[in-house]
Structure 1
């Protein structure tokens, strides 16, 4: 833990922790407080009649967890899972959901004042999920709103799988 810089006010130290992951060569981040755990890809049982971005379900210590494909949900090209692929178990509205991502990188602290508003670019499918953008020397990190990612009519139909 680092000590506050001398002369700085509390607002300048206001930051949040995010888990970063990649999808199609881009870096994304979600609030660390919503991440329950990160799993290696396991067998996913398909569920008929669900939207194409829902891969199916997994058994997580006796609980059934729906797994969505992060690439498909964001409107990105499909890619078969690799050794680096992970399922990020998140909690949204007291429901655990898995998101398949290409890889998980690290937990980062992002100062609130360094988050820029979501730009009006990209396809409508992905841009509506963007909370904001953080630019650093490592490049751009796209902050994702899980509530927006999992809040449409299609998703409501399958929340109780």
Structure 2
């Protein structure tokens, strides 16, 4: 089982945390930098029949089959479009290598425990268990996500069963 992103409720030390900031639509999100393997431009993928629409397919990355998830579709943020700024972030989630398609990458941001606020309680039917907190830095706000919860094992099993 992997360690969740440290939030103010869990972090009793004064150790800052680093997050890779990326854009989806008009919002900025952050993922624990320790999970990030590499950044790549978007390339065509091999599709998998019967997969959810946000699982774009798989790519062969140096002999490893990597599932590619489109975060705009996964988070129901509208139709995805792919251009020169579209980025695939290769990272470790649910003990596997995966790729997530995002609109663009901003930077690596360091947040102190005081800058990480607990995730708000969403009163909707949409599960937001993947939001671990909000990173506040001056006028900037990052929605901090835990990809281990967002990309569930059952979704990754589709890829394992198909390969």
TM above 0.5, yes or no, is yes
What TM bracket, shorter-length normalisation? 0.7 to 0.9
Note the residue ranges of structure 1 that are not aligned, 5 or more in a row. Answer: 1-9
The number of residues matched between the two structures is 150
Corresponding position: 1:18 with 2:11: no
Corresponding position: 1:55 with 2:61: no
Note the residue ranges of structure 2 that are not aligned, 5 or more in a row. Answer: 1-11
Runs of 4+ deviating beyond 4 Å: none
User: Which gives a bigger RCO, structure 1 or 2 (Cα 8 Å, sep 6+)?
Assistant: 2
- CA distance in 2 between counterparts of 1:126 and 1:82 reads 29
User: TM-score w.r.t. structure 2 length?
Assistant: 0.84
Q: Is the 8 A contact 2:94 2:151 kept in 1?
A: no
RMSD over aligned Cα atoms: 1.9
User: TM-score w.r.t. structure 1 length?
Assistant: 0.85
Q: Is the 8 A contact 1:74 1:125 kept in 2?
A: no
Moved more, 131-140 or 83-92: 131-140
1:151 Cα deviation (Å)? 2.0
1:93 Cα deviation (Å)? 3.7
Instruction: Give the corresponding residue for 2:137.
Output: 136
Q: Deviations over 1:82-141 (max 9, x none)?
A: 211100001124311000000011111111222111112385446221010012224211
Q: Is the 8 A contact 1:88 1:100 kept in 2?
A: yes
